[in-house]
Amino acid sequence: MTDMQIAPGTEITLHFALGIIDGDEVDSTFGGKPATFNYGDGSLLPGVEAKLLGLSAGASETFTLAPEDAFGQRNPANIQRFPRSQFAADMVLEEGVVISFADAARAELPGVVSEVSDESVMVDFNHPLAGRSLAFRVEILSVNAQAEAS
């Protein structure tokens, strides 16, 4: 075990659990394979990484993440109405169905159907956890100097 602290330039192996405050667990590595990543590589949200700074192997913490530190606030502009005619006639369109769209850069953009009528379909492109306060539980297994890229 090392006393190295989490900082830029470190490789971190940890278990984590992400859940909605007073609600369901959304994702967890506890009971499975731990996650390993380099600090600052984009694997974790910046608000989460900031809370890990200075922790070392053996630390167990639970953080509350405000929406701004997690997936942001819900944005009404991310809810769009499409003509029903833009969808195949045999396509299942009901509340809660996830549909994959392509954005301007041809990247996949999932949207959740929030309302369906004979004329239109409302699709919500907000992240499902946007606007939610989250609990992030973490157990740091190891902190090492980042391996040099060869």
Read off the pLDDT of residues 33-48 as tens digits, 9 standing for 90 and up: 999 999 999 888 888 8
DSSP letter (8 states) at residue 68: G
- The answer to whether residue 150 scores a pLDDT higher than 70 is no
Reported confidence tier of residue 146, pLDDT bands at 50, 70, 90:
confident
Residue 19: name the closest of 109, 97, 99, 133 by CA: 133
Distance, CA of 87 to CA of 100 (rounded, Å)? 12
Give the three-state DSSP class for 77: helix
Q: Does 1 have pLDDT greater than 50?
A: no
- Judge whether residue 75 has pLDDT over 80: yes
Mean per-residue pLDDT over the chain, rounded: 91
Residue 90 has pLDDT above 50, yes or no: yes
Question: At residue 109, does pLDDT exceed 90?
Answer: no
Question: What contacts 29, CB < 8 A, 6 or more positions away?
Answer: 14, 15, 16, 17, 35
148 three-class SS: coil
Q: How far is CA 77 from CA 74, 84, 122, 125, 148, in A?
A: 9, 19, 12, 9, 43
pTM confidence score? 0.75
Q: Going from the N-terminus, what domains does the chain have, and what CATH number goes with each? A: 10-71+131-145 (3.10.50.40), 76-124 (2.40.10.330)
- What gap in Å lies between CA 3 and CA 39, rounded to an integer? 16
Does position 7 have pLDDT exceeding 80, yes or no?
yes
